[in-house]
Amino acid sequence: MRTQHGKSVYKGIAIGKISIYKNGQQVVKRRHVEDVEAEIKRFEEARDQAVEELGKLYEKALSEVGEANAAIFEVHQMMLEDLDYEESIVNIIRNQELNAEYAVASTGENFSEMFASMDDDYMKGRAADVKDVSERLVRVLSGVQEDKMNAEEPVIVVADDLAPSETIQLDKSKVLAFITRHGSVNSHTAILARMMNIPALIGVDYEQDWDGAMAVVDGFQGMVYVEPTREVLEEKRRIQEEEKEKERLLQNLKGEENITLDGRKINLYANIGNVSDLGAVLQNDAGGIGLFRSEFLYLERNTYPTEEEQFQVYKRVAETMGGKKVIIRTLDIGADKQVDYFNMEKEENPALGYRAIRICLDRVDIFKTQLRALYRASMFGNISIMFPMIISVDEVKKIKEIIKEVKDELKQAQVPFKEVELGIMIETPAAVMVSDLLAKEVDFFSVGTNDLTQYTLAIDRQNPLLDHLYQPDHPAIMRMLQMIAENGHKGGCWVGICGELAANLDLTEEFLRMGYDELSVSPTFILPLRQKVRESKAFVDA
Amino acid sequence: MKTFQYEIKDELGIHARPAGQLVKLLKQYASSVTIAKGDKKVDAIRLMAVMGLGVKQGDVVTIEVDGADEKYACEAVEKFFQENL
Asked if pLDDT for residue A147 goes beyond 60, the answer is: no
B83 touches chain A (CB under 8 A): yes
Q: What is the ipTM of this complex?
A: 0.87
| pLDDT at res. A391 | 97
Nearest Cα residue to A403 out of A415, A420, A416, A389: A420
Closest Cα in chain A to B11: A301
Identify the pLDDT of residue A271: 92
pLDDT at A406 (0 to 100): 97
Which tens digits make up the pLDDT trace of A222-280?
Answer: 999 999 999 999 999 999 999 888 878 888 888 899 999 999 999 999 999 888 788 88
Task: Find the residue in B nearest to A78 (Cα).
Answer: B20
* pLDDT tens-digit readout, A294-347: 988 988 778 899 999 999 999 999 998 988 999 999 999 876 666 778 888 888
pLDDT of residue A336: 67
Q: Does A197 touch chain B (CB under 8 A)?
A: no
Domains annotated for chain A, with CATH where assigned, are 2-18+150-231 (3.50.30.10), 36-141 (1.10.274.10), 296-534 (3.20.20.60)
- The rounded distance, in Å, linking the Cα atoms of A469 and A187 is 42
Q: What is the pLDDT of residue A522?
A: 87
The question of whether B15 is a catalytic residue gets the answer yes
Residue A28 has pLDDT above 70, yes or no: yes
CA distance to partner chain A, nearest, from residue B20 (Å): 6
Share above pLDDT 70 across residues of chain A, in percent, rounded to a whole number? 95
Contacts of A126 in chain B (CB under 8 A): 16, 51
Q: Which residues of A touch B51 (CB under 8 A)?
A: 115, 123, 126
Q: Does the pLDDT value for residue A41 go beyond 50?
A: yes
DSSP A53-89: HHHHHHHHHHHHH-HHHHHHHHHHHHHHT-HHHHHHH
Tell me the pLDDT band of A373, cut-offs 50, 70 and 90. Answer: very high
- Note the pLDDT tens digit of each residue in B17-76: 889 889 889 988 989 999 999 888 999 999 989 998 889 888 999 999 999 899 999 999
In DSSP notation, A417-457 reads: ----EEEEEE-SHHHHHTHHHHHTT-SEEEE-HHHHHHHHH
Q: Is B47 on the interface with A (CB under 8 A)?
A: yes
Q: How far apart are CA A29 and CA A103, in angstroms?
A: 10
* Chain B environment of A85 (Cβ under 8 Å): 48
Average per-residue pLDDT for chain A: 89
pLDDT > 80? residue A23:
no
Catalytic entry in A188, A360, A489, A493: A188
Residues in chain A: 542
Longest Cα–Cα distance of chain A, Å, equals: 95
- For A81-136, what is each residue's pLDDT tens digit? 998 999 999 999 999 999 999 999 999 999 988 888 887 777 887 888 898 899 88
Task: For residue A309, list chain B residues with Cβ-Cβ distance below 8 A.
Answer: 9
Testing the interface with A: which of B9, B34, B43, B48 to mutate, by most A Cβ within 10 A?
A: B48
Residue A445 pLDDT > 50: yes
Q: Do A114 and B52 touch (CB under 8 A)?
A: yes
pLDDT band at A463 (very low <50, low <70, confident <90, very high): confident
What domain count does chain B have?
Answer: 1
Residues A179, A43 contacting (CB under 8 angstroms): no
β-sheet with A200-202: strand ranges across? A2-5, A223-226, A214-218, A13-20, A155-159, A175-180, A200-202, A7-10
Q: What is the CATH number of the domain that holds B27?
A: 3.30.1340.10
Which position among B2, B10, B15, B41 bears the catalytic label? Answer: B15
Secondary structure of residue B10 in the 3-state scheme:
coil
**How many other CB atoms sit within 10 Å of the CB of residue A91?**
12
Residue of B nearest to A110 (CA): B48
Nearest to B31 by CA among B62, B85, B77: B77
Which of A122, A131, A380 should be substituted to probe chain B, the one whose Cβ sees the most B Cβ atoms within 10 Å? A122
Q: Are the C-beta atoms of A209 and A186 separated by less than 8 Å?
A: no
Q: What is the pLDDT of residue A343?
A: 84
Question: What is the 3-class SS of A379-426, one letter each residue?
Answer: HHCEEEEEECCCCCHHHHHHHHHHHHHHHHHHHHCCCCCCCCEEEEEE
Contact status of B23 with chain A (Cβ, < 8 Å): yes
CA distance A496 to A516: 6
Residue A424, pLDDT above cutoff 80:
yes
For A241, residues 6+ apart whose C-beta sits below 8 A from its C-beta are none
Number of H helices and E strands in chain B, helices first, is 3, 4
- Any chain B CB within 8 A of the CB of A128? no
> Structural domain of residue B20, as residue ranges?
2-84
| Chain A positions in Cβ-Cβ contact with residue B20 (cut-off 8 Å) | 74-75, 78
Residue A26 has a pLDDT of 65
**Contact between residue A351 and residue A312 where contact means Cβ atoms under 8 Å apart:** no
Q: Poorest-confidence range of A77-91, A157-171, A394-408? A: A157-171
Determine, for residues A302 and B58 on separate chains, whether the beta-carbon distance falls below 8 Å. yes
pTM over 0.95: no
Query: Residue A114: how many CB atoms within 10 A of its CB?
Result: 18
Residue range A198-218, pLDDT digits in tens: 899 988 999 888 988 999 999
Per the DSSP assignment, residues forming a β-bridge with A215 are A16, A226
Lowest mean pLDDT among A96-100, A186-190, A438-442: A186-190
Decide if pLDDT at A507 tops 90.
yes
Better-predicted residue by pLDDT, A111 or B11: A111
Q: What is residue A140's three-state secondary structure?
A: helix
From A150's Cα to the closest Cα of chain B, the distance in A is 33
pLDDT at A71: 81
Closest CB to B82: pick one of A72, A130, A308.
A308
Minimal CA separation from A385 to chain B, in Å: 23
Could you tell me how many CB contacts below 8 A there are between chain A and chain B?
Answer: 50
- Top mean-pLDDT range of A339-343, A350-354, A379-383: A379-383
pLDDT score of A542: 47
Residues of B in contact with A111 (CB under 8 A): 48
| Candidates B50, B51, B59, B81, partner chain A, best to mutate (most A CBs within 10 A) | B51
pLDDT at A452 over 90: yes
pLDDT per residue as tens digits for the range A177-186: 999 988 766 5
Q: Do B54 and A119 make contact, defined as CB atoms within 8 angstroms?
A: yes
Please give the average per-residue pLDDT across A340-361, as a whole number. 88
A118 CB neighbours in chain B (<8 A) are 52, 54
> Chain B neighbours among A 56-85 (CB < 8 Å)?
71-72, 74-75, 78-79, 82-85
Residue B54 at interface with chain A, using a CB cutoff of 8 Å: yes
Q: Is A255 left (phi over 0), alpha (psi -120 to 50) or beta?
A: left
Quick one: closest CA in B to A315, which residue?
B83
Rg, chain A, Cα only:
28
Compute the distance between CA of residue B15 and CA of residue A124 in angstroms, rounded to an integer.
Answer: 11
